[in-house]
Amino acid sequence: MDTNVLVAASRSRNGASFALSLFTYACRVAEEEHVSMNQFFVMAIAEKVSALKTETYFRERQSRGELNGFYTWLNASPDAEPMAGDELI
C-alpha cells in the first residue's frame, strides 16, 4: 500500500475506520508472509527504527563533511569517459 494513501487516509475524517482496515490489511500480509501478527509488528517496528537510525547516521555524517574537501577530491578525479554501464541515459 502506498504510504501517501496511508497519510492521506489517516488525516481524513474517516481515520478511525481506516485504522480498522489497516489492521485487516496487516493481518492479511502477516498471513501471506506466514508469520504471527506479533512477529509482523515486531518486524515493522524494527524496520522503522532501522530507517530512523539510518537517517540519523547520514545527518550526523553530513554534519562532519567538508564541501571544499569534496570538491578538491572531485577535481582530482580523472576526466575520463564513464565505464560501460555507467553512462547517463
- What is the structure's pLDDT at 40? 96
Do the Cβ atoms of 44 and 36 come closer than 8 Å?
no
More confident residue, 19 or 9: 19
Distance CA 7, CA 29 (A): 19
Q: Is the pLDDT of residue 71 over 90?
A: yes
- What is the structure's pLDDT at 79? 86
Residue 39 one-letter amino acid: Q
More confident residue, 53 or 86: 53
Map out the domains of the chain as residue ranges. 1-34, 44-76
Give the distance from CA 49 to its chain's centroid: 11
Question: Comparing C-alpha atoms, which of 48, 50, 51, 27 is closest to residue 39?
Answer: 27
* 11-70 confidence digits (pLDDT tens): 555 556 667 788 899 999 999 999 999 999 999 999 999 999 999 999 999 999 889 998
